[in-house]
């Protein structure tokens, strides 16, 4: 029999509806998988088995009455420990966050999951305040990769990505301010979507401002579309949320890619060195899109690397999130975080506004680019997972995590939807991701193309452990 912890949310829900699977069985399977696999990975900050089983029992009763509460009733989910979840602390990877709370409020996306009957397994690991593209923190330690625990899961939503890859719940909520759902999705072989900014409400507002998005991390694009239909629901606490969508994200998902205009940029015009195995896997995914009827053209978006502007915005945001800490508390911070906070505190208002000017120019350039192309396709990452517990690969010459993530952070500056889709394994058995970037508000187009890769078999890879 198929292990229930290996099933997508869609397959679990079909089983609940037919009576072949119970939410309690599915929840126990996910909890058992977490208990068995997580000690070597460290994907979880906290697992609340008792509360999860109680929620699953309530869901089971509703299904037996033929009255499911919502679109995700009984589906096991996890939540990155950046987002508030009532009933327990949100530590954000930091010793500077006290235990006492009060922890009586859900973030908007968490509230929507609760309203739709999801079963909460626990909170997942993050670097301190989500500041970098790998997952390790002073408070919760290092998170390893399910394909090789000696390597990083990526970050900053590394715990969520590892949990989904391990089978500890098919759905997870992550956040993405510079690639933080896409980086770990690529490294761990799962799907992740950074929606258009404002499409998923966020509260409290991120210190990183309008760089920070909330998005689904899932087994496939179909599950992500389902999750988006839930978490995109309105919430009055977010003043920058977008208006409601005219149609759900599952609408048109099976329409295929025939006729879509796709620009393929393998290395941003020669600017980014890409590992040959990564490049080959991404090329094969692009060829599959062409075989499916997309009109693919090799084309570069043509912008200069906006990393300096991103650093001004990111480092000043980090300084802001730690501004209230005293000297003793600052000594408790991740040393790398402390460094960028000090740099960010030196940024002037004029520095910040100059970075905003770069951002606006980039957004305009990409808006014009998407008048010609429906999608831009790139590698998600130019490399595969490297040693866990370090910010940059040894010997790379990079000093900050942005040095090895050149394909992700530009699209936080522009607020565009972008997804990472698994597209193969290297000879060492490590996952590779292909990134699909759409125009602002074209989330459904991104999901539609990603789903086409799944239905064609191009996104199917051997899971961790080869099961």
Catalytic residues: 80, 156, 180
DSSP assigned state of 174: E
298-308 in b/e form (b: 16+ CB < 10 A) is: ebbbebeebbe
Burial (0-12, 13-18, 19+ Cβ within 10 Å), 248:
middle
**Beta carbons within 10 angstroms of residue 250's beta carbon:** 18
SS3 48: coil
The CA distance from 321 to 254, in Å, is 42
Q: 442 near 199, Cβ under 8 Å?
A: no
For helices 221-231 and 443-455, give the axis angle rounded to 10 degrees.
150
Task: Give strand ranges (E) for 91-243.
Answer: 119-124, 136-137, 141-142, 144-145, 148-152, 171-176, 191-194, 213-218
Place of tokens 């460290």: 42
**Strand pairing class (191-194; 171-176):** unpaired
The length of the chain is 467
128 phi/psi in degrees, rounded to 5: -60, 120
Q: Own/partner pairs for 274-280, CB < 8 Å, 24+ apart?
A: 274/379, 274/382, 275/382, 275/383, 275/384, 275/426, 277/384, 277/426, 277/427, 277/432, 278/379, 278/381, 278/382, 278/383, 278/384, 278/426, 278/432, 279/379, 280/424
Contacts of 20 (CB under 8 A, 6+ apart): none
Give the pairing of strands 119-124 and 76-80: parallel
Please return the burial class of 197, using the count of CB atoms within 10 Å of its CB with bins 0-12, 13-18 and 19+: buried
Q: Which residues contact 280 (CB under 8 A, 6 or more apart)?
A: 424
386-401: buried (b, 16+ CB within 10 Å) or exposed (e) per residue? Answer: bebeebbbeeeeeebb
């Amino acid at each position: 029999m198929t292990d229930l912890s290996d099933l997508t949310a869609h397959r679990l829900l079909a089983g609940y509806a037919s009576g072949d699977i119970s939410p309690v069985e599915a929840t126990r399977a996910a909890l058992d998988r977490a208990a068995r696999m997580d000690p070597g990975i460290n994907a979880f900050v906290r697992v609340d088995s008792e509360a999860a089983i109680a929620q699953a029992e309530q869901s089971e009763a509703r299904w037996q009455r033929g009255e499911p509460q919502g679109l995700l009733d009984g589906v096991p989910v996890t939540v990155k420990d950046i987002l508030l979840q009532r009933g327990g602390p949100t530590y954000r990877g930091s010793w500077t966050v006290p235990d006492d709370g009060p922890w009586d409020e859900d973030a908007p996306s968490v509230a929507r999951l609760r309203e739709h009957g999801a079963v909460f397994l626990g909170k997942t690991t993050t670097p301190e305040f989500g500041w970098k593209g790998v997952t390790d923190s002073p408070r919760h330690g290092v998170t390893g990769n399910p394909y090789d625990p000696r390597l990083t899961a990526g970050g900053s939503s590394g715990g969520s990505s590892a949990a989904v890859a391990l089978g500890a719940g098919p759905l997870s909520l992550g956040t993405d301010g510079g690639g933080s759902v896409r980086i770990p999705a690529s490294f761990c072989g799962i799907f992740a979507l950074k929606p258009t900014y404002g499409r998923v409400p966020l509260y409290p507002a991120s210190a990183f401002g309008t760089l920070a998005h909330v998005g689904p991390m899932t087994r496939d694009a179909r599950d992500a579309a389902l999750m988006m239909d839930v978490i995109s629901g309105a919430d009055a606490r977010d003043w920058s949320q977008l208006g409601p969508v005219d149609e759900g994200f599952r609408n048109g998902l099976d329409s295929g890619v025939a006729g879509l205009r796709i620009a393929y940029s393998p290395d941003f015009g020669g600017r980014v060195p890409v590992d040959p195995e990564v490049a080959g896997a991404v090329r094969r995914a692009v060829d599959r899109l062409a075989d499916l009827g997309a009109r693919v053209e090799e084309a570069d978006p043509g912008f200069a690397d906006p990393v300096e502007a991103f650093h001004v915005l990111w480092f000043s945001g980090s300084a802001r999130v730690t501004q209230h800490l005293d000297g003793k508390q600052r000594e408790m911070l991740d040393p790398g975080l402390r460094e960028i906070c000090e740099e960010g505190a030196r940024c002037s208002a004029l520095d910040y506004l100059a970075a905003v000017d770069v951002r606006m120019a980039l957004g305009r350039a990409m808006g014009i680019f998407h008048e010609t192309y429906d999608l831009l396709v790139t590698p998600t990452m130019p490399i595969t997972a490297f040693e866990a517990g370090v910010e940059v690969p040894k010997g790379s010459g990079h000093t900050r995590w942005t040095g090895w993530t050149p394909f992700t952070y530009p699209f936080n500056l522009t607020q565009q939807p972008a997804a990472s889709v698994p597209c193969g394994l290297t000879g060492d058995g490590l996952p590779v991701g292909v990134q699909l970037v759409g125009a602002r508000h074209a989330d459904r187009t991104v999901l539609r193309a990603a789903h086409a890769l799944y239905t064609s078999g191009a996104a199917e890879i051997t899971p961790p452990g080869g099961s």
